[in-house]
Amino acid sequence: MKMYLISDNIDTWTGMRLAGVDGAVVHEKNELKKELEKVLADREIGIVLLTEKFGTLFPDLINDVKLNHRQPLFVKIPDRHGTGRKPDFITSYVNEAIGLKL
């Protein structure tokens, strides 16, 4: 099984290429849709890494693919600009989960 990266910037793509992960850089919704169709057609791809920006900009497209296909596994990753989460997201998650303020 192979991993494949769909990124919105060249720096993340370059870093993953150095690690041996093939991928593509896309910027628009129609480009992302074409790339997702390409990934879904390749049965060897088991994991697709998506930069977090796509989950924010095109959630309808990403969620549709996730809900209607068993494979591959889609994983959102932060890019060179960092994560889109709050700095204390783990603490707030624990606080919400157990009801205690840490």
Compare 102 and 94 and report the one with higher pLDDT: 94
Which tokens go with 78? 């932060």
pLDDT digits (tens, 9 = 90+) for 65-90: 888 888 899 988 877 665 666 666 56
Instruction: Name the phi and psi angles at 16, rounded to 5.
Output: -70, -35
Instruction: Name the phi and psi angles at 4, rounded to 5.
Output: -140, 135
Compare 89 and 34 and report the one with higher pLDDT: 34
Which domains, ranges and CATH numbers included, belong to the chain?
Answer: 2-98 (3.40.50.10580)
3 state DSSP class of 77: strand
pTM of the model: 0.76
